Amino acid sequence: MYEQFYGFELNPFTNIPNPDLVFLSPQHQRALSTLQYALVSRAGFCVITGDVGAGKTTLVRHILQTATDNLHVGLVSNSKCDSFEELLKWILLAFDLDYKDKDKVEMYDLFVSFIIEQHRNDQPVTLIIDEAQNLDMDNLEQLRMLSNVNTEKGTVLQTILIGQPELWDLLRDPRMSQFAQRISYEYFLKPLDSTELTENYIRYRLEHSGGSPDLFDDDTFKLIWEVTSGVPRLINLLCDTALVYAYGEEKEKVDLNIVNQVIDDRSESFKRPPVKVAKTTKSADTKAGSTKAKSRAPSLIERAVNRKT
Rounded to whole angstroms, how far apart are CA atoms 68 and 53? 27
State pTM to two decimals: 0.82
Q: Quickly list DSSP for 87-98.
A: HHHHHHHHTT--
Query: Is the per-residue pLDDT at 286 higher than 70?
Result: no
DSSP states along 45-68: EEEEEE-TTSSHHHHHHHHHHH--
Whether the predicted pLDDT of 22 surpasses 80: yes
Distance, CA of 22 to CA of 189 (rounded, Å): 14
Cα 260 from chain centroid (whole Å): 24
The whole-chain average pLDDT of the chain stands at: 86
Residue 157 has pLDDT above 70, yes or no: yes
Q: Which domains does the chain have, with CATH numbers?
A: 2-14+193-265 (1.10.8), 26-189 (3.40.50.300)
Q: Give the tens place of pLDDT for each residue, 83-117.
A: 999 999 999 999 999 989 899 999 999 999 999 99
- What's the pLDDT at 305? 37
Question: What pLDDT does 295 receive?
Answer: 39
Q: How confident is the model at residue 277 (pLDDT cuts 50, 70, 90)?
A: low
CA–CA distances in Å: residue 34 to residues 24, 64, 126, 220, 255? 13, 14, 15, 33, 38
Predicted confidence (pLDDT) at residue 285 exceeds the cutoff of 80: no
